[in-house]
């Protein structure tokens, strides 16, 4: 009896799905055990053509069979590798590893689990530091390379050996049918090696917990929530593996004068009602330390905003600065001397209503409302 699936079904290797299905149905009717009175030979042939059809009707199984033959479905190497070497495949996932290359094969490259973890550090800055940029010295406690074993994890000159659990892959796999589940090897924690004589200080990890200081440069223009990556300053990796990264998250302290909106600074400036009526000027401090003189136009209303171009924050990773927006708040005096009250009473006797057109218009509408 032929063992090739295509020969079993009597079709060519280029047959399409319809031809495969028709050939199977025809042979299945001829060889079905119920029609042959329980004949063992017919029963064996029926199982063989059913197996062939089950493989060839599935595009993935068929692709694997076309390339590797029966070895594609043999665990443990019973069928051998059709490309030499005498080694079989560890399940269907290995077929796709060979077809699509190393990036599909979990054993082709060691797991990255041994890489050090990334660290987070919350850095608090003043608005002035965020404006100008600064260099900050920070202290972090993290896993650093062990000095006793030079990050090797071994005592003295003893060498590491290949992990017997994962065979050096750093991963172990559990397979059910065509599904493969991978996890970090518990024997070597993903490094692929085991230490015969571990370093007593780091217990074979090649790293120990240490405190260290680090100087970091903060660029001008950072804002609340800005994330800064400092490459290679995170936790040290296992036994000399690459270190993780350090991420700085910026937080800004509350400023007594300014609020920030992107590159724009916002300030509130209370002025007297006489300055609002007659006009004048006020001085406010700039974020860069310079004094800024703002001209107050006569008749300005409370809540109006004055713009000072280029008085805001530096633009992060860019050029130029934002603007300074000053919101004017007209303050009504609460403590007046007798002389001041007398002057205001005299002013009130001269009012015609035209001095405050908004008030005049409002009360005119009120009177119309009451009059119906």
Q: Which residue carries 């699509």 as its tokens?
A: 100
Locate all alpha helices (DSSP H) within 184-305, ordered by sequence: 273-278
Rounded distance between C-alpha atoms, residue 63 and residue 248, angstroms: 50
Phi, psi of 218 (to 5 degrees): -105, 120
Rounded distance between C-alpha atoms, residue 296 and residue 305, angstroms: 10
Cα–Cα distances (Å) from 88 to 71, 75, 176, 315, in that order, read 7, 7, 18, 61
- Asked if residue 31 belongs to a known ligand binding site, the reply is no
Rounded distance between C-alpha atoms, residue 331 and residue 336, angstroms: 13
Count CB-CB contacts under 10 A for residue 278. Answer: 11
The pLDDT tens digits along the chain (372 residues) read 447 888 888 888 888 888 898 888 888 888 776 665 667 787 888 888 888 888 888 888 888 888 777 766 654 333 334 333 333 344 444 444 444 443 344 444 444 446 889 999 999 999 999 999 999 999 999 999 998 888 888 887 666 778 878 877 878 887 665 667 778 787 777 777 788 788 888 888 888 999 999 999 999 999 999 999 999 999 998 888 899 999 999 999 999 999 999 999 999 999 999 999 999 999 999 999 999 999 999 999 999 999 999 999 999 988 899 999 999 999 999 999 999 999 999 999 998 888 888 888 888 888 888 886
Q: Which residue carries 């608005």 as its tokens?
A: 127
- Asked if residue 39 belongs to a known ligand binding site, the reply is no
Tell me what pLDDT residue 66 has.
82
Given a contact cutoff of 8 angstroms between Cβ atoms, the answer to whether 249 and 121 are in contact is: yes
Tell me what pLDDT residue 175 has.
65
Tell me what pLDDT residue 311 has.
95
Residue 145's DSSP bridge partners are 207
Sign (positive or negative) of CA dihedral 362, 365, 369, 371:
positive
Tell me what pLDDT residue 177 has.
59
Tell me what pLDDT residue 73 has.
67
Tell me what pLDDT residue 326 has.
97
Given a contact cutoff of 8 angstroms between Cβ atoms, the answer to whether 235 and 117 are in contact is: yes
Count CB-CB contacts under 10 A for residue 144. Answer: 18
Which has the closest alpha carbon to 324: 276, 255, 273? Answer: 255
Residue 368 structure tokens: 């119309």
Check residue 185 and give left, alpha or beta (phi > 0: left; psi -120 to 50: alpha): beta
Rounded distance between C-alpha atoms, residue 311 and residue 57, angstroms: 73
- Asked if residue 202 belongs to a known ligand binding site, the reply is yes
> Is 130 buried (19+), middle (13-18) or exposed (0-12) by CB count in 10 A?
buried
DSSP secondary structure of 221-244:
T--TT-EEEETT-SPPPGGGPPP-
- Compute CA 12 distance to the chain's CA centroid, rounded to the nearest angstrom: 51
- Asked if residue 55 belongs to a known ligand binding site, the reply is no
Tell me what pLDDT residue 94 has.
46
- Asked if residue 166 belongs to a known ligand binding site, the reply is yes
Cα–Cα distances (Å) from 226 to 221, 246, 247, 361, in that order, read 10, 14, 10, 49
Cα–Cα distances (Å) from 236 to 116, 143, 176, 247, in that order, read 5, 6, 36, 15
Which has the closest alpha carbon to 311: 105, 131, 122, 166? Answer: 131
Tell me what pLDDT residue 251 has.
96
Rounded distance between C-alpha atoms, residue 230 and residue 297, angstroms: 49
Given a contact cutoff of 8 angstroms between Cβ atoms, the answer to whether 277 and 149 are in contact is: no
Tell me what pLDDT residue 281 has.
95
Which has the closest alpha carbon to 241: 165, 171, 329, 153? Answer: 153
């Amino acid at each position: 009896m032929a063992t090739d699936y295509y020969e079993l079904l009597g079709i060519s290797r280029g047959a399409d799905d319809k031809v495969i299905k028709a050939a199977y149905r025809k042979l299945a009717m001829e060889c079905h055990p119920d029609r042959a009175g329980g004949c063992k030979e017919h029963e064996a042939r029926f199982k063989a053509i059913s197996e062939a059809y089950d493989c060839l009707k599935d595009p993935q199984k068929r692709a694997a069979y076309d390339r590797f033959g029966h070895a594609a479905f043999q665990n443990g190497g019973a069928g051998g590798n059709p490309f030499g070497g005498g080694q079989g495949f560890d399940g269907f996932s290995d077929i796709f590893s060979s077809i699509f290359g190393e990036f599909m094969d979990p054993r082709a490259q060691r797991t990255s689990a041994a890489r050090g973890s990334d660290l987070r550090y919350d850095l608090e800055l003043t608005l002035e530091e965020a404006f100008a940029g600064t260099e900050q010295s920070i202290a972090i406690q993290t896993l650093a390379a062990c000095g006793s074993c030079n990050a090797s994890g071994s005592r003295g000159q003893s060498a590491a050996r290949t992990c017997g659990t994962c065979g050096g892959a750093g991963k172990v796999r559990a397979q059910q049918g065509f599904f493969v589940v991978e996890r970090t090897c518990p024997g070597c924690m993903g490094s692929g090696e085991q230490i015969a004589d571990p370093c007593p200080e780091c217990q074979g990890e090649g790293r120990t917990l240490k405190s260290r200081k680090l100087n970091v440069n903060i660029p001008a223009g950072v804002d609340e929530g800005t994330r800064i990556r400092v490459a290679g300053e995170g936790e040290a990796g296992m036994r000399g593996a690459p270190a993780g990264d350090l991420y700085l998250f910026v937080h800004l302290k509350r400023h007594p004068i300014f609020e920030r909106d992107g590159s724009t600074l916002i300030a509130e400036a209370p002025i007297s009602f006489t300055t609002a009526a007659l006009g004048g000027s006020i001085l406010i401090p700039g974020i860069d330390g310079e004094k800024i003189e703002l001209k107050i136009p006569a008749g300005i209303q409370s809540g109006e905003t004055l713009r000072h171009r280029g008085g805001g924050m530096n633009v992060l990773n860019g050029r130029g600065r934002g603007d300074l927006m000053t919101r004017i708040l007209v303050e009504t005096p609460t403590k007046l001397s007798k002389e001041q009250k007398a002057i205001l009473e005299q002013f009130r006797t001269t009012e015609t209503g035209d001095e405050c057109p908004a008030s005049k218009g409002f009360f005119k509408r009120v009177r119309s409302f009451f009059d119906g």
